[in-house]
Structure 1
Amino acid sequence: MTPLHRTGRTPALTELSFGAAPLGNLYEEVSDDDAASAVEAAWQAGVRFFDTAPHYGLGLSERRLGAALAAHPRDEYVLSTKVGRRLEPRSDGAGQRDASFVVPATHRRIWDFSRDGILRTLEDSLRRLGTDRIDIVFLHDPDDYWPQAAGEGYATLADLRAQGVVRAIGAGMNQSAMLTRFVRETDVDVVLVAGRYTLLEQGALDDLLPAALERGVTVVAAAVFNSGLLALDRPCPDAKYNYADAPAALVERAHRIADVCESHGVTLPAAALRYPLLHPAVRSVTVGMRTPRQVERNAGLLAQDIPEALWQDLSRAGLIRAGASVSRDESI
């Protein structure tokens, strides 16, 4: 496992991390057995970093992940969850399904980055996960709540870190600009950026990644397949991007990237998994996985050797930004 930059107060991360949103029945149902088997397959593949959130299936993801990890020594893995969406029971959801997650609408999500909201959310997460501690806590999607999240929310997490209740703190978002503000204006340890540093998008090179290197903050890259557009050797006709139908221009760009990959004997998803890790600020890629087969596939893809010439050719073709694949050894 690779240590985070702030090694005095934070755990180590494996290059591949387990994104547990699918365990909350994201878009489709997952059986309890499949969920448990997926986590066990990840463990057998060497994954030791597991990420979840109350948002995922109204707590179902946390419950399933905690149950599956209970068989393993607590000191041997890193567990992260998120705060900012407080779950409150609802009486008007009988017979309804939760949006995006195939679960009964038993609770409603309430945006809340207050101290009380965070403490209550973490207490509930600990109970659902069946553990006495969480290693990393992220402020979850605070896009529209910067004043409270960067003020009271961050201060609360910093207090919990100082007390030793959590080991590391940060924010997780689908954008790089506000994450850069967290890196520059607070003392976070780690940030999770979803979909904004991938083979298709390198905008984070302009703000987040340089700031993270300068401040010694670790970056975790999630959604590296851009909602599935990069998940197959060739994009499907109905490929998604940012959870919607992919624009034709991006589909065409993905095909051009796949052409270059194939010329080097590499598949598009293998390149997509490895690419973010080439940057010295990025320490792990988080991939949502719902079955053992998906786990084994992704672990195998990440283990493949990819020639440096592939990145050079992609850069020369203007398909990735020049300098995006700077090696870690040269940059640290």
Structure 2
Amino acid sequence: MTVTDQVLILPKLGFGAGAFSGRYNEIDEKAAAEAVKESFDLGNALHALRDEMPRERYILSTKVGRYGATPADCDYSRDRVMASVAESLRRLHTDYLDVVLCHDVEFVSLAEVTGQALPALYDLKSQGVIRQVGISGYPLPTLLRIAEIQHDCGTPLDVVFSYCHFNLHNRQFQDYAPRFRAFGVKYLINASPLSMGLLRASRDPPDWHPANDALRAAAREAVALCRKRGLDIAELATRFSLDGNTDGMFDTTVLGISNAHEIRQAVEWLNAGPVTDPVAAETLQDLLEIFRPFEAYTWPSP
């Protein structure tokens, strides 16, 4: 991932670290503690390496707005946004951030996002403190409405980040992508091709997963089919999302990872290209048929 004249050059596949929270799977406490310490040490490390790795050679992205698990933990006020950005600058020993996202925007009113948080971020962008401003969240209609508002007021969003909307059971992001582009959004990020752990065989999805019982049952059927045929549903799901990203529909796909093995595995899947093995290709079509009843289904959020 690089920056050229304030233009983001994104890889085909990115790695999300949400799995380190332990919400998606069990995490070794020592490894989790080390990961948290690592995140706080990152700023010091980047500062120490500033001569070997100049700031312009890497991207720093962060989020503002949500600071806990419930809507009560959200604060999109101008003062809190400004304080969050200042805190990130201090911790990372930098004088600018490449991307700042208003996170989980559906948890608060549109007025809080478009009337307080985003104007604060655009003020910082005009000062050179932020290069790209965006939003993240689940409901595509909400994200699109914010994109429309920002377009109409002359400050279009740079980045829109959504999740669980381009995978085996839901491909609605592909219908929304051109609409976001029409409102001036430069970068679209598709996250969670495994639908927050629903499309994997290594462990059951977390109890809190918002999918309804019918979709959960379909996922169990899909996992069983892949297992019967000696295939990994996580691989097929990931490759489906990557292969389906045609004509620059999305700028990158973000996959949650929790260890080094999963990183190596994901890179192998990326490099494998389209699914061409006859059994795997047939199974992929069977999976799409299993999930066909859910093509228009989205779970409530929040």
Normalising by structure 1, we get a TM-score of 0.67
Question: Match for residue 14 of structure 1?
Answer: 11
Residue 220 of structure 1 and its aligned partner are, at CA, apart by 0.8
Structure 1 residues 300 and 14, CA, compared in 2 at 3 Å: closer, same or farther? same
Structure 1 residues 317 and 273, CA, compared in 2 at 3 Å: closer, same or farther? closer
SS at 1:31's partner residue?
helix
Residue 275 of structure 1 and its aligned partner are, at CA, apart by 3.2
Higher strand share: 1
Residue 138 of structure 1 and its aligned partner are, at CA, apart by 0.4
1:76 aligns with 2:57: yes
- Name the aligned partner's letter for residue 151 of structure 1: G
Question: Match for residue 194 of structure 1?
Answer: 163
C-alpha distance in 1, partners of 2:192/2:200? 10
Between stretches 68-77 and 294-303, larger displacement belongs to 68-77
SS at 2:7's partner residue?
coil
SS at 2:251's partner residue?
strand
C-alpha distance in 2, partners of 1:288/1:169? 22
Residue 272 of structure 1 and its aligned partner are, at CA, apart by 2.3
What is the alpha-carbon root mean square deviation over aligned residues? Answer: 3.9
Residue 192 of structure 1 and its aligned partner are, at CA, apart by 0.8
- Name the aligned partner's letter for residue 213 of structure 2: P
SS at 1:78's partner residue?
coil
Question: Match for residue 121 of structure 1?
Answer: 84
**Percent identity of the aligned residues?**
26
Question: Match for residue 104 of structure 1?
Answer: none
C-alpha distance in 2, partners of 1:75/1:291? 27
Does the aligned pair in 2 maintain the 1:21–1:61 contact within 8 Å?
no
Does the aligned pair in 1 maintain the 2:169–2:288 contact within 8 Å?
no
Question: Match for residue 187 of structure 2?
Answer: 218
Q: After TM superposition, which residue ranges in structure 1, 4 or more long, deviate above 6 angstroms?
A: 260-263
1:153 aligns with 2:117: yes
Does the aligned pair in 2 maintain the 1:189–1:218 contact within 8 Å?
yes
Question: Match for residue 103 of structure 1?
Answer: none
Residue 228 of structure 1 and its aligned partner are, at CA, apart by 1.2
C-alpha distance in 1, partners of 2:95/2:250? 28
Structure 1 residues 180 and 247, CA, compared in 2 at 3 Å: closer, same or farther? same
Does the aligned pair in 1 maintain the 2:189–2:253 contact within 8 Å?
yes
Structure 1 residues 231 and 317, CA, compared in 2 at 3 Å: closer, same or farther? closer
Normalising by structure 2, we get a TM-score of 0.73
SS at 2:60's partner residue?
strand
- Name the aligned partner's letter for residue 283 of structure 1: D
C-alpha distance in 2, partners of 1:254/1:8? 47
Residue 168 of structure 1 and its aligned partner are, at CA, apart by 0.7
> What residue ranges of structure 1 are gaps of 5+ in the alignment?
36-56, 87-97, 101-108, 325-332
Q: How many residues align?
A: 273
SS at 2:252's partner residue?
strand
C-alpha distance in 2, partners of 1:198/1:2? 27
Structure 1 residues 293 and 201, CA, compared in 2 at 3 Å: closer, same or farther? same
Residue 12 of structure 1 and its aligned partner are, at CA, apart by 1.4
Does the aligned pair in 2 maintain the 1:197–1:224 contact within 8 Å?
yes
Question: Match for residue 286 of structure 1?
Answer: 254
1:201-248, CA deviations, whole angstroms, 9 ceiling, x for partnerless residues? 123344x3231233343211122211212233xx75x33486358735
Does the aligned pair in 1 maintain the 2:198–2:219 contact within 8 Å?
no
Structure 1 residues 294 and 67, CA, compared in 2 at 3 Å: closer, same or farther? farther
Question: Match for residue 314 of structure 1?
Answer: 285
1:239 maps to which of 198, 205, 211: 205
Does the aligned pair in 2 maintain the 1:257–1:314 contact within 8 Å?
no
- Name the aligned partner's letter for residue 157 of structure 2: V
